[in-house]
A and B are shown apart, each in its own frame.
Chain A
């Protein structure tokens, strides 16, 4: 079991009367890419929210490398090495791309608290270099002195991915990372994510785009109306009649 990175055990979550997650179990193994697919409103984002401490589950446990995550503060979870790209990009719109990518590095380094108030930003050469490097990786290096708010939706997403990568997370959660991207950019993102995978980073990825799912995922779980209705290798899941039904008769 030591190679289990993320383990969701009987997670329940409801909003008022609406049950968003019921009895969800999920195992994500070290170094793999685990895709979660499912129709709109299935509870996919809610699942990630529970993982990163944005929502507390009504019952059940989330463990990360054997450590309990449930009940922890978001920043603690992030410090443990869980990073997330959100469905609607969460960036710092008034700042430059470079600052956007440098900030998480500071958070990681001084997150618990360090009064780093006297040293100038100019002295942070190593972090700056790393940030520039990452901006190159995500293909935004030439715009690094622009304000992030002016980026297109797809670029914001890539920027956010960069902000997560500089954290060197052990587990990266991606909520529809290619939504709003052109085909070209989608392919670039796939390549980038493959590259990360070769570095051994574990990923959970939510995607509607099956092309992305099949290019990246080692395993797929299908979520519909808050329940995992199927799981396994991508090829197997594709043939599963329950999955087809969920998509066709689902919330579309």
Chain B
């Protein structure tokens, strides 16, 4: 099988190795904290799932945060009612996100284009507003849903003596914080990547791309686009639910702000930044955004003063406030600018940029397009 530079198996192995080795290669880059690593993996899952919808079908959902939030709530309730074990939490998170996605998708997919985007946005905002107000008994409103000493934890109470403090999440006894937590998320991320790769390579994926490319043509060749679209929507909602439950597993707390439309915007951003419709792009985008968020927001003026201490004082005093605008709490400004630059100059995202670079490096070697059984959609930049 000739797939340009990489075969799928190599691609997958490479992905797995890079993810599992993150603690190693992120060490010199100052990114080796379990918390941060967990977030890389979790948001990677979120973005990869989002890409199954947006990348393949071209339907831009602005409401995926709702599924993230539901996943978190379901997971925390599983901790409260059943057990601190991570597995049931994941199952419930994915399940409820899937149900919600089926309902929202069923209605929203009646419309296309911006109407679809607005419908998803409206549903997500409704979920968010309800989580803040009348659903307080389930969501604990503004405070957010937390564990408490009084929780029944039916299953755990049979096997384990209740300790004095709050119990921590675990996987059959293995604590889900720190590095074990990261590796747990990483393994799930790798599985998710694999599934997404299979979908991209399958007739199902090709049909979804057909819908993106020319929905009418698909209909007039006999495809009932509804169930296909709905399946893609539910799958990507379930990915979001998984990400949401993992957020709760690594830090057992669920707040409504996770459902706000800014969170939906964030996943769009990650996907675009990495490369819509590419396999590894969303992971790349998620990683970069979370990495820079972490690095940049840690800076404050004192840190900056130190960095620029080699400069004469007067110069440093001018530079520091200016740079300060872009870091620390001003990190969003950098993000906004970065975002604009990417959309303006590199609408295919970083992956497209890299492949352009690679082509440039390989000279004018004619790039052959491989089709059918050997298609590699990720080599064709998203529109």
| A residues lining the B interface (CB < 8 Å) | 52, 54, 73-76, 78-79, 83-84, 90-99, 102-104, 106-108, 110-113, 115-125, 128, 131, 144-147, 163-164, 167
**B375 contact set on A, CB distance < 8 A:** 96, 99, 121
CA distance A145 to B227 in the complex (A): 30
Q: Are A125 and B371 in touch, CB under 8 angstroms?
A: no
Q: Are B224 and A73 in touch, CB under 8 angstroms?
A: yes
Q: Are B216 and A90 in touch, CB under 8 angstroms?
A: yes
Q: Are A99 and B224 in touch, CB under 8 angstroms?
A: no
Minimum CB distance partner of B230 in chain A: A113
CA distance A164 to B221 in the complex (A): 7
Say how far B228's CB is from chain A's closest CB, in angstroms: 7
Give the size category of B's interface with A. 35 or more
**B383 contact set on A, CB distance < 8 A:** 94
Is B225 among interface residues, defined by CB-CB distance under 8 A?
yes
Minimum CB distance partner of A129 in chain B: B372
CA distance A75 to B374 in the complex (A): 28
Q: Assuming the A-B contacts A120-B373, A146-B369, A147-B369, are A95 and B222 also in contact, with contact meaning beta carbons closer than 8 angstroms in the complex?
A: no
CA distance A193 to B274 in the complex (A): 47
**A120 contact set on B, CB distance < 8 A:** 198, 201-202, 373
Is B219 among interface residues, defined by CB-CB distance under 8 A?
yes
**B201 contact set on A, CB distance < 8 A:** 120-122
Q: Are B220 and A128 in touch, CB under 8 angstroms?
A: no
**B198 contact set on A, CB distance < 8 A:** 117-118, 120
Q: Are A122 and B217 in touch, CB under 8 angstroms?
A: no
B 208-223 to A, binary, CB cutoff 8 A, 1 in contact else 0: 0110011011111111
Minimum CB distance partner of B214 in chain A: A92
Q: Are B219 and A74 in touch, CB under 8 angstroms?
A: yes
Q: Are B216 and A144 in touch, CB under 8 angstroms?
A: no
CA distance A199 to B220 in the complex (A): 22
Query: Can you add 8 more A-B contacts, CB < 8 Å, to A73-B224, A96-B372, A112-B227?
Result: A52-B220, A75-B219, A79-B222, A111-B223, A113-B224, A113-B228, A122-B373, A163-B217
CA distance A93 to B212 in the complex (A): 11
Say how far A126's CB is from chain B's closest CB, in angstroms: 11
Q: Assuming the A-B contacts A115-B231, A117-B204, A119-B202, are A98 and B372 also in contact, with contact meaning beta carbons closer than 8 angstroms in the complex?
A: yes
Other-chain residue from B219, B220, B368 in contact with A145 (beta carbon distance below 8 A): B368
Q: Give 25 CB contacts A-B under 8 Å.
A: A52-B220, A75-B223, A92-B210, A92-B213, A93-B214, A94-B383, A96-B369, A98-B372, A102-B206, A103-B210, A104-B222, A107-B221, A107-B222, A107-B223, A108-B222, A111-B223, A113-B231, A117-B204, A118-B202, A120-B201, A121-B206, A121-B373, A128-B373, A144-B371, A145-B368
Q: Assuming the A-B contacts A78-B221, A90-B214, are A124 and B203 also in contact, with contact meaning beta carbons closer than 8 angstroms in the complex?
A: yes
Minimum CB distance partner of A111 in chain B: B222
**A95 contact set on B, CB distance < 8 A:** 209-210, 213, 371
**B220 contact set on A, CB distance < 8 A:** 52, 54, 74-75, 78, 83-84, 90
Is B199 among interface residues, defined by CB-CB distance under 8 A?
yes
CA distance A106 to B228 in the complex (A): 12
CA distance A91 to B223 in the complex (A): 15
Is B329 among interface residues, defined by CB-CB distance under 8 A?
no
**B228 contact set on A, CB distance < 8 A:** 113
The 8 A-B residue pairs whose C-beta atoms are closest, nearest first, are A96-B371, A78-B222, A122-B373, A104-B221, A98-B371, A107-B223, A117-B204, A113-B227
Is B207 among interface residues, defined by CB-CB distance under 8 A?
yes
**A76 contact set on B, CB distance < 8 A:** 224
**A115 contact set on B, CB distance < 8 A:** 204, 231
**B214 contact set on A, CB distance < 8 A:** 90-93
**B374 contact set on A, CB distance < 8 A:** 121-122
B 192-203 to A, binary, CB cutoff 8 A, 1 in contact else 0: 000000110111
**A164 contact set on B, CB distance < 8 A:** 221
Q: Are A125 and B202 in touch, CB under 8 angstroms?
A: no
Say how far A41's CB is from chain B's closest CB, in angstroms: 22
Is B1 among interface residues, defined by CB-CB distance under 8 A?
yes
